[in-house]
């Protein structure tokens, strides 16, 4: 009961603060959300208590004792990908850019399928604890610490995108300012994550995914009613976006961004593979067949879960917002919460808020646990204290969860577009980490020299194109529509393969000469 009491105390303190600051809070919605968090917290607490014996060691905390049944594994895998960034970001780009630029749902779905077919079986068979274990095995602990940087960055951006999505929803539906919403959401989500290990995360994902799918299914009919139904909405959407209303790429729809579209598509497909949140579920599966099966099924669930936010984005794009007092969404990231609040009745808006909150909690807990697991297991343990026992490692991971949560919250304060940050998550992972993982698993001649050369070359080429979201200026003269991210990834991959072999030959020659 102690964790539940702490949550209730936190919610009470938040309500008191909002009351005295004079915020125009939707108190019935706030009460409903408090009840939702209490239920999820209770489920997590019960799961953590039931698996307490397993939580005392690292395998229990990180991998649920490698004993996740397939149905729970499917729920937690799907819930991890179908998060707040997924549903808010999909609605955002559907409403503002056209379906042709809504790439993430099918891109991540394909990444799950490819991961299941080519990576899951090998990783589970070798019984690794994290995604970075094969890198440490092939390249050594120091190079793995370097490669941890893009992995950590990806998890931080992912968590920040999710928190921004929930903060925008809280701000719109509850009537709380955005920064207060993000801070409150982050505190609750990170505190819940620190409650227990993967068992608690997985079992709460079952509850959260069910609420998410049910909530979105209830919202869509109410929203479509404001734009004349599905057929009328689709017709109006096609008129507004023209060729960009199709999900398939064409020169007409993309214009001068044709190759940029393919660049983003590839980074989502292959940049969606080297994630600890994915491999954590793979490695926690009971066997290899389960690991493959859950990847394939979760890919299908990702596509199905995108239908509702796409329809909500279409409604936002075709509805005449001048007919209501609130007007159009204040920014792109507010697309879904704006529809939830103003184009449904108050009760449905509360259900919609619960759906978004469920999506966020199911992704935040996984992401901060993954980043903390890699940081302590693959960086702190080998470099700082190799003899540290598992029981103390588990405690360090729990403490690290708070550090990761705070860092992600600070990033979320600075971002206005959920989708932009969501893309950025896979960007650095695709360019800097994917080549190293592929070679670590499938190239027996890859070594640390090649990994370092590939990392440095890929980083130089990738950052040479700059980044608008992070405010990084470009320093390489790439043409306007040039797939420099895929260039960086491909050159990094070739550098690992080539330099590794040159270094191996040089090492052999030195041995012969000596």
Dump pLDDT digits (tens) for 58-111. 676 678 778 877 788 888 888 778 876 788 889 999 999 999 999 989 999 999
Beta carbons within 10 angstroms of residue 411's beta carbon: 18
Tens-place pLDDT, residues 125-157: 999 999 999 999 999 999 999 999 999 988 888
Angle at 381 between CA 379 and CA 382, to 5 degrees: 75
Which has more pLDDT, 371 or 420? Answer: 371
Tens-place pLDDT, residues 448-500: 999 999 999 999 999 999 988 778 899 999 999 999 999 999 999 999 999 99
Tell me what pLDDT residue 207 has. Answer: 74
In this model, does residue 320 exceed pLDDT 90?
A: yes
Interatomic CA distance for residues 376 and 313, integer angstroms: 40
- What Rg value do the Cα atoms of the chain yield, rounded? 23
Angle at 193 between CA 187 and CA 199, to 5 degrees: 160
Closest CA to 395 of 54, 129, 57: 57
Report the Cα–Cα distance between both ends of the chain, in Å, rounded. Answer: 68
DSSP 431: I
Residue 385 φ/ψ region, left for φ over 0, alpha for ψ in the -120 to 50 degree band, beta for the rest: beta
Question: pLDDT averaged over the chain?
Answer: 84
What are the residue ranges spanned by the domains of the chain?
2-426, 443-514
**Residue 170 near residue 32, CB atoms below 8 Å:** no
Tokens found for residue 83: 């998060």
**Residue 200 near residue 48, CB atoms below 8 Å:** yes
In this model, does residue 53 exceed pLDDT 60?
A: no
Helix residue ranges, H only, 82-197: 84-96, 104-118, 120-125, 133-139, 141-174, 178-193
Interatomic CA distance for residues 394 and 388, integer angstroms: 10
CATH superfamily of domain region 2-426: Sodium/glucose cotransporter (1.20.1730.10)
Sequence-ordered list of residues with C-beta below 8 angstroms from that of 267, at least 6 positions apart, any chain:
423, 426, 427, 430, 431, 485, 486, 489
């Amino acid at each position: 009961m102690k964790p539940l009491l702490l949550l209730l105390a936190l919610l009470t303190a938040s309500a008191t603060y909002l009351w005295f600051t004079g915020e125009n809070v939707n108190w019935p919605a706030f009460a409903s959300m408090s009840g939702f968090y209490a239920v999820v917290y209770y489920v997590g607490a019960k799961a953590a208590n039931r698996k307490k014996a397993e939580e005392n060691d690292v395998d229990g905390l990180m991998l649920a004792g490698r004993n996740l049944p397939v149905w729970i594994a499917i729920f937690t895998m799907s819930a991890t990908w179908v998060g707040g960034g997924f549903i808010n970001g999909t609605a955002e780009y559907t409403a503002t850019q056209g379906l042709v630029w809504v790439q993430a749902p099918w891109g991540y779905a394909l990444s799950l399928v490819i991961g299941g077919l080519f990576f899951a079986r090998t990783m589970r068979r070798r019984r690794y604890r994290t995604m970075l274990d094969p890198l440490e095995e092939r390249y050594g602990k120091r190079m793995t610490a370097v490669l941890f940087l893009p992995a950590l960055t990806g998890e931080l951006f992912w968590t920040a995108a999710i928190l921004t999505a929930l903060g925008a929803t809280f701000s719109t539906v509850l009537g709380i300012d955005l920064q207060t919403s993000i801070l409150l959401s982050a505190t609750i989500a990170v505190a819940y994550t620190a409650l227990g290990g993967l068992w608690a995360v997985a079992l709460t994902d079952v509850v959260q995914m069910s609420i998410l799918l049910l909530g979105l299914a209830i919202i869509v009919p109410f929203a479509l009613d404001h734009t004349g139904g599905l057929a009328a909405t689709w017709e109006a959407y096609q008129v507004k976006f023209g060729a960009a209303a199709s999900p398939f790429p064409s020169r007409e729809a993309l214009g001068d961004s044709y190759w940029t579209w393919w660049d983003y598509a590839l980074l989502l497909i292959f940049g969606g593979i080297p994630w600890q949140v994915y491999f954590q579920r793979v490695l926690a599966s009971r066997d290899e067949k389960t690991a493959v099966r859950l990847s394939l099924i979760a890919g299908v669930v990702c596509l199905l879960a995108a239908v509702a936010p796409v329809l909500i984005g279409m409604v936002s794009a075709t509805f005449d917002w001048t007919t209501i007092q609130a007007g159009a969404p204040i920014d792109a990231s507010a697309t879904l919460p704006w529809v939830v609040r103003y184009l449904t009745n108050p009760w449905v808006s509360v259900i919609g808020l619960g759906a978004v909150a469920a999506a966020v909690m199911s992704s935040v807990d996984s992401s901060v646990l993954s980043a903390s697991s890699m940081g302590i297991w693959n960086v702190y343990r080998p470099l700082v204290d190799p003899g540290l026992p598992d029981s103390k490692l588990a405690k360090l991971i729990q403490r690290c969860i708070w550090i990761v949560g705070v860092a992600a919250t600070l990033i979320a304060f600075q971002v206005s577009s959920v989708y932009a940050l969501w893309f950025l998550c896979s960007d650095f992972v695709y360019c800097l980490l994917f080549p190293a993982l592929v070679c670590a698993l499938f190239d027996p001649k890859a070594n640390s020299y090649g990994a370092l050369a590939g990392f440095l070359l890929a980083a130089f080429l990738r950052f040479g194109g700059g980044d608008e979201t992070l405010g990084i200026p470009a320093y390489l003269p790439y043409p306007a529509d040039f797939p420099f991210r895929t260039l960086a990834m491909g050159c990094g991959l070739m550098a690992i393969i080539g330099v590794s072999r040159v270094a191996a030959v040089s090492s052999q020659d030195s041995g012969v000469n000596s």
